[in-house]
A and B are shown apart, each in its own frame.
Chain A
Amino acid sequence: MAGALQDWKLQKKPFVAIATAPVFWLILFFVAPMAIVWLYSFGQNAGPADIDISGTLDNYKRATEWLYLSIFLKSFAVAALTTLICLIVGFPVAMAITFAAPKWRPWMLLGIMLPFWTNLLIRTYALMALMGTNGYMNKGLGGLWEGASWFRTLVGMQPLEAWTPVQLLYNNFAVVLGLVYVHLPFMVLPLYSALDRLDKSLIEASLDLGAGHFKTFMKVVVPLAAPGIVAGVMITLIPALGAYLTPDLMGGTDSQMIANVIERQFKRANDWPFGAALSFLLIYAMFILIALQSMRANKVKEAR
């Protein structure tokens, strides 16, 4: 019905009863802390536990030094790669769920979601255990290696030298794999919900008009699932960009991401103002991503 929203003035009492708690909480425990961080980012250390908010821009200047800029860029690259892999792995899975028999569909979704409900730290730890020098991944690779070696002797060549376990952990590869592992469910769910809304007869129409499966996929499924793809990309990219735990546990000294640098300012280097500035730069980056997405969404809306 038109005019479904009620004007608060017409129902002041219920409105106040409903709105007070959330608004109060939001201001006191979210806006206020964020505002303090923001102010700190314009400050400098004045003593061991004293910060002088002097309005200086030094922290931001320092953040644009190549050392920090490169970490920003690298974080972005890692997050983007993670998102891309999640998209490639996740799309067929989302398709499979969409076209599964109705009675299987919820269970398949549950299968994707259950890891998402499992503790992040435990999942990371489990993956680390598997990837350790004594872990099963190394064993599997070792098996392949020996197989190859045996094959070489079979065709009369020199056998390969003995398998030495490789270091799979504590490098950039481990970080990306860990991030993919953790974020894959985030990607699959929005993709699924977009594909689920897609009218199946459109695919049938495309096949009926002579397009093959691949053409249909590229020309019909992907464009129509675009909102879901964008949502999935955002929902994966944003947390991956701010990831702390995975690079901290699985990364080496050269695979630090921006969140780790921020953490160091607070827990070790004790340079709170600089940490605050980096935090806000990260938040601004998120805002830019979201603004880009909503601009795109608006364009699509206007085009219609």
Chain B
Amino acid sequence: MFGRSAPIAPLEYTRKLWMRSWVGLTLLFLYAPLLVLMIFSFNDSKRNVVWKGFTLKYYEKALNNDSLVEAMVNSLTIAFLATIVSLVIGALAAVMLWRFRFPLKGLVEGTISLPIIVPEICLGVAFLIFFAKVDWPTDLAWPLNLSAITIAHITFCFPFVAMVVRARLASFNKEEEEAAKDLGATEWQAFRDVLLPHIKPGLIAGALLAFTLSLDDFVITFFTSGPDTITFPVKVYSMVRFSVTPEVNAASTILIVLTVILTFIALKLQGVKGIAQTH
């Protein structure tokens, strides 16, 4: 790249050295902690700093730690369920706001975006009180014992889905829907054949966002989880709080790798540009 160095044009800011160093340092700041964590999850030492040799024993330990595995399974289950329901409700909300004029629309629109704005801690508190007040049973069998957390997750995930899908809807050419009807399609056929394919990228992006948000959430889960339902972030939290073990490194690395894999699946599905546009 530096070999054929044409003079730097005025707007080629990215080719300027200070700009490059700045971006490089920022990326270093963002990635160094994660990379160090991942590398040292293979370190054969209780203390994290000095490299003592390669080992997989902490992965073995993490995977044999039943409560950690259970927390992981719980988290993935919740994320999966929350994503599906958020996707349906969020898409419906988006279509409702995009399509119709109805009384109190401003109020409904504002309220839908509220869960995005209200601080997590307040939402967590609200669910804590709500589930206590309605006496939500806490001793149900799996996976029903996750219902309270899942409901809470859906509540803060679906507005994000609605936002992403609505942004996608804004670029929809209504004449396409009219063309379908003009060619004989019913309301439902036009929706299925024209509108749905158009918002598909939005749905994928929304699903991805919901899944990540749900998997990521600590605060709200912390307040809604019963004594026996532990999710991955809550588990890691207690491990970090009370006894830092290299197992956390191993478990975290697994989750990071999972995130990266998910990201690349999304990339495959809609291309780098698509991902860039939806955020």
Chains A and B in contact, CB within 8 Å: yes
Binding site for B on A (CB under 8 A): 1, 4-8, 11, 14-15, 18-19, 21-23, 25-26, 29-34, 36-37, 40, 89-90, 92-93, 95-101, 104-115, 117-123, 125-130, 132, 134-136, 139, 181, 184-185, 189, 200, 203-204, 207, 213, 238-239, 241-242, 244-245, 249, 259, 262-263, 266, 272, 275-276, 279-280, 282-283, 286, 290
Chain B residues lying within 8 Å of A203, measured Cβ to Cβ, are: 11
Taking a contact as CB atoms closer than 8 A, the residue among B121, B130, B219, B252 that contacts A126 in the complex is B252
- Asked whether, in the complex, the Cβ of B218 is within 8 Å of the Cβ of A121, the reply is yes
- Asked whether, in the complex, the Cβ of B174 is within 8 Å of the Cβ of A92, the reply is no
Check if B227 is an interface residue, CB within 8 A of chain A.
no
- Asked whether, in the complex, the Cβ of B121 is within 8 Å of the Cβ of A244, the reply is yes
Cα distance A124–B267 when bound, in Å?
A: 26
Specify the main secondary structure of chain B where it touches its partner: helix
Q: List 13 A-B contacts (CB under 8 A).
A: A6-B100, A8-B101, A22-B112, A110-B263, A111-B27, A117-B212, A122-B256, A125-B248, A126-B252, A128-B240, A134-B48, A245-B237, A283-B118
Q: Considering the complex, give the chain B residue whose CB is closest to the CB of A92.
A: B22
Chain B residues lying within 8 Å of A111, measured Cβ to Cβ, are: 27, 30
Chain B residues lying within 8 Å of A8, measured Cβ to Cβ, are: 100-102
- Asked whether, in the complex, the Cβ of B120 is within 8 Å of the Cβ of A290, the reply is no
Selecting from B58-66, B90-98, B138-146, B196-204, the interface stretch reads B90-98
Cα distance A33–B174 when bound, in Å?
A: 38
- Asked whether, in the complex, the Cβ of B100 is within 8 Å of the Cβ of A25, the reply is no
Known A-B contacts: A1-B174, A118-B259, A203-B11. Give 13 more (CB < 8 A): A8-B101, A30-B111, A30-B155, A36-B126, A37-B129, A93-B26, A115-B31, A136-B49, A204-B10, A245-B218, A249-B241, A276-B129, A279-B126
The answer to whether residues A129 and B48 also contact, given A18-B92, A121-B233 and a CB cut-off of 8 A, is yes
- Asked whether, in the complex, the Cβ of B130 is within 8 Å of the Cβ of A127, the reply is no
- Asked whether, in the complex, the Cβ of A119 is within 8 Å of the Cβ of B216, the reply is yes
Taking a contact as CB atoms closer than 8 A, the residue among A1, A6, A22 that contacts B99 in the complex is A6
Q: Considering the complex, give the chain B residue whose CB is closest to the CB of A20.
A: B92
Chain B residues lying within 8 Å of A107, measured Cβ to Cβ, are: 272
Taking a contact as CB atoms closer than 8 A, the residue among B40, B130, B241, B249 that contacts A33 in the complex is B130
- Asked whether, in the complex, the Cβ of A93 is within 8 Å of the Cβ of B23, the reply is yes
Check if B47 is an interface residue, CB within 8 A of chain A.
yes
Taking a contact as CB atoms closer than 8 A, the residue among B93, B125, B158 that contacts A276 in the complex is B125
Q: Considering the complex, give the chain A residue whose CB is closest to the CB of B237.
A: A121
- Binary A-proximity of B104-142 (CB < 8 A = 1, otherwise 0): 000010011011011111100111111001000000000
- Asked whether, in the complex, the Cβ of B276 is within 8 Å of the Cβ of A279, the reply is no
- Asked whether, in the complex, the Cβ of B14 is within 8 Å of the Cβ of A89, the reply is no
Specify the main secondary structure of chain A where it touches its partner: helix
The answer to whether residues A99 and B125 also contact, given A18-B95, A93-B26, A120-B216 and a CB cut-off of 8 A, is no
Chain B residues lying within 8 Å of A121, measured Cβ to Cβ, are: 216, 218, 233, 236-237, 240
Cα distance A279–B125 when bound, in Å?
A: 8
Check if B215 is an interface residue, CB within 8 A of chain A.
yes
Check if B182 is an interface residue, CB within 8 A of chain A.
no
Q: Considering the complex, give the chain B residue whose CB is closest to the CB of A213.
A: B10
- Binary A-proximity of B26-39 (CB < 8 A = 1, otherwise 0): 11011111101100
Smallest Cβ distance from A203 to chain B, in angstroms? 6
- Binary A-proximity of B225-237 (CB < 8 A = 1, otherwise 0): 0000000110011
- Asked whether, in the complex, the Cβ of B49 is within 8 Å of the Cβ of A96, the reply is no
Chain A residues lying within 8 Å of B84, measured Cβ to Cβ, are: none
Cα distance A189–B275 when bound, in Å?
A: 12
Taking a contact as CB atoms closer than 8 A, the residue among A21, A89, A266 that contacts B92 in the complex is A21
Q: Considering the complex, give the chain B residue whose CB is closest to the CB of A280.
A: B122
Cα distance A101–B252 when bound, in Å?
A: 34
Taking a contact as CB atoms closer than 8 A, the residue among B108, B118, B128 that contacts A266 in the complex is B128
Cα distance A203–B100 when bound, in Å?
A: 41
Chain A residues lying within 8 Å of B90, measured Cβ to Cβ, are: 22
- Asked whether, in the complex, the Cβ of A5 is within 8 Å of the Cβ of B101, the reply is yes
Cα distance A37–B123 when bound, in Å?
A: 10
Q: Which of B240-269 contact A (CB under 8 A)?
A: 240-241, 244, 248-249, 252, 255-256, 259-260, 262-263, 267
Chain A residues lying within 8 Å of B176, measured Cβ to Cβ, are: none
- Asked whether, in the complex, the Cβ of B101 is within 8 Å of the Cβ of A122, the reply is no
The answer to whether residues A119 and B10 also contact, given A30-B114, A31-B111, A283-B119 and a CB cut-off of 8 A, is no
Smallest Cβ distance from B116 to chain A, in angstroms? 9
- Asked whether, in the complex, the Cβ of A96 is within 8 Å of the Cβ of B19, the reply is yes
Taking a contact as CB atoms closer than 8 A, the residue among B100, B114, B158 that contacts A5 in the complex is B100
Chain A residues lying within 8 Å of B255, measured Cβ to Cβ, are: 118-119, 122
Smallest Cβ distance from B165 to chain A, in angstroms? 12
Cα distance A25–B259 when bound, in Å?
A: 29
Residue among B47, B92, B248, B275 with max Cβ neighbours from chain A (10 Å):
B92
Cα distance A130–B30 when bound, in Å?
A: 12
